[in-house]
Homo-oligomer: A and B are copies of this chain.
Amino acid sequence: MSVPLLEQLIEAFRILPGVGQKTAQRMAYHVLERERAGGQRLARTLAEAIEKIGHCRACRDFSETEICGICASSGRDRQLLCVVETPADRWVIESATGYRGLYFILQGRLSPLDGIGPRELGLDLLASRLQEGEVTELIVATNSTVEGEATAHYLAQLARRHRIKPSRLAQGLPLGGELEYVDRGTLSHAFGMRSEMPD
């Protein structure tokens, strides 16, 4: 006997991040009980998105077009290039800061043990971009993790080889953070990097 469709559906939901057997079952029941129209829309949109969304040729972000909206925009400062690990990072910088330069999305971080090297992150594309000479500052916005820092170090060297100034986001206490609850590493770093207060 073939596997019942309901079980196939529960299994299919499990590809989603953080979704185990129990949650997948709840999702399947929920859609069938109460959200059939929404479920149809999800199925249609998902299939269409997978078919049509590729990567921008310039920045490697997700894009329906060959060049994404930000890269194609005439209103951005083309001298600034901000390198991030994922499209989600690009999204959060775009929505939280007033940054008006361009981006480059690695779609990952250097991780030799997982077989992710410079080629997988499109660093040859980044190098030829830096070679063109338009970029004057490479803003390295990889995560503050071990792998993120290693990637940042590699990117800084790459930038210097092209005589471009690399910069890194400031590290320290989060705004509104209380000393008591900040981790020791961050506190120690912030203490060491203290700066004089203006009058």
Question: Chain A: residues with CB nearer than 8 A to chain B?
Answer: 4-6, 8-9, 12-13, 15-18, 23, 25-33, 35-36, 38-50, 52-53, 62, 64, 69, 86-88, 91, 107
- A42 and B47 CA atoms in complex are apart in Å by 9
A29 interface neighbour in B5, B29, B88, Cβ under 8 Å: B88
A88 interface neighbour in B16, B25, B64, Cβ under 8 Å: B25
Q: Tell me whether chain A's interface is mostly helix, strand or loop, or mixed.
A: helix
Q: Are A8 and B49 in contact (CB under 8 A)?
A: yes
As for how many copies of this chain the complex holds, the number is: 2
Question: If A35-B15, A42-B12, A42-B15 touch, does A49 touch B28 (CB 8 Å cutoff)?
Answer: yes
- A30 and B18 CA atoms in complex are apart in Å by 11
Q: Are A31 and B5 in contact (CB under 8 A)?
A: no
Q: Which residues of B contact A86 (CB under 8 A)?
A: 29, 33
Q: Are B9 and A46 in contact (CB under 8 A)?
A: yes
Q: Are B33 and A15 in contact (CB under 8 A)?
A: no
Min Cβ gap A20→B in Å is 13
A36 closest partner in B (C-beta): B50
Q: Are B15 and A64 in contact (CB under 8 A)?
A: no
A2 closest partner in B (C-beta): B64
Which of A35, A52, A53 has the most chain B CB atoms closer than 10 A to its own CB?
Answer: A53
Q: Which residues of B contact A40 (CB under 8 A)?
A: 46-47, 50
Q: Which residues of B contact A5 (CB under 8 A)?
A: 45, 48-49, 52-53, 64
- A183 and B135 CA atoms in complex are apart in Å by 64
Min Cβ gap A30→B in Å is 5
